[in-house]
Structure 1
Amino acid sequence: MVEIVYRIYEVADEKTAKKNAEKDFEFDLYSSISKSQNNELVMDCLICESREEFKKIIKDEYGNGISFRYSRKLRPGDLYCVIIGEHCYSTEKYFNKVTFTCDCCGATVETYYGKPIYFSDYEVRNYFYGIEDYAEKRFCSHKCKQVYESRECNKIRPNDDEEFYITKDMFSEKVSGYIYKISKKSTGEFYIGQTMYAPVFRWGQHLKTERFPIENITDYQFEVIEIVPLGCNILEREKYWIQKFYRGNPEKSLNIMCTANIS
């Protein structure tokens, strides 16, 4: 026995096919000709002995002229059958229609396939300052998503008197990175490092180490000593600064890398 999930389509005339395709494109569904242009008449599941018996049953019901695949030779009004699943033990996914309302224009969208258009984790984090409510928004098209994004960003963009969350990616687009120096006030020891992200995040990582325990945070001075331009080798710039400070006071340097054989 086989369990076959299938759809019956009617070939649409040129005007209807164009209209269906435009709607499909608007909702960003980019699918087959069957789904995007032609008219779906039936979607069902049939249990029978074999594919041959399945085809016989379909022909008995829809006529011998029905095809079992789409062909450009078919004309408007012709019927064809497409098998979309066989030996399916979980057919619910084929019949459970996904319905949602666009959070921008209010349009109701119904589909059997695909995911709604939504804001990615990156977009929520960087465009909406991590406000989780925006992760639940759904849109019928990318155009609606862009309109909604522009409108909401203007609403929540902080002014000079407001706080907002800095993410590690915010400062990584126009520079290669940053060279920083950490100094211990009580001993005069110092450490030179580099980071591609906002320096505050690298500083936070250091405060979790034995060398710079957070309990003694008031004993440290953290400073950015160079913003490395885009296209410049940040490792070479780090090496330059490590060696420069090492030559000035080698006994206080906490760097090991790039300090061998320096006179």
Structure 2
Amino acid sequence: MNQELLQPNYYWIRVFDYKFERDQSDKGVMLDEFYTKDSADRESVKELVKDRYCKATSEHIGFAKPKKGKSGMYAIIMESERFFYNRFYAMINTSCFVCLGNIQGKASAFPRAYIGPRIGYQSGDDVFLDLTITAYFCCGECQQKYYRIKSNQEGEFQSREEGDQGAVYGYIYLIYNRKEDMHYIGKSRYIPAFRWQEHIKSGLKGDICDLNFSVLSTVRRDPTLNEEGNMNYLSSMEAWWINKYEMENHKVMNIAKPKITVDDLREKFNDIVVRQEQLTLDGDL
């Protein structure tokens, strides 16, 4: 049998809330992101997306950005591959290649290195789960020892233009403590790197060697709202992602549990996130 026929089809799905007055040429505010490897084609992925949410959302969600002047929710479906699927989902429970300390958590959050027999990874390699070709490290220091160099090759901050000349109102960011498998979600009006530096200095989120930083969603300024309205929306998006992570049974270290105060977002949260939790519970019965 042709081996290619045995390979699953991977797809990357992102769901956006688009408002023409606010987002213009931008994609909109991302509400959900996931991968699938069990769907035969794009049409079956569309059905999967519709089944993932409540009827009110599934009946109106589109699969292309709304036309000029229009607003609405839509999903972008892109072909993907195993590397990106596992980068999103793969979990490991192994030992640090240098100090032998336990490593447990999301695989992509830990420093790693190629240790296979070839020069480097080849197409088709299972980068995250094949421990015969990938070594994991508990922290940057151990990775430095492995490479025998002085500078840390992991965990550099990603640079972003400051607010896209005012068009970007703020960011929702994630700090993941891979040692404790804990997540912290916050919001920032400006470049998240500044907030990350504050968290690092405080030490409350853990040692810098255990932390992984990323941006979950970019929120553009809505010209139809005043400053208070835009801040309220940013705060509601922060609440969205905190509640989403909690409902997905991630360990969240946020002490304050903000509420989604924007009515439109609260309805979408019930349709998208709460609906998915109900489907999961029904599937376990």
TM-score, structure 1 as length reference: 0.32
Please, what TM-score do these two structures have when normalized by structure 2?
0.30
- Which protein shows a greater Rg? 1
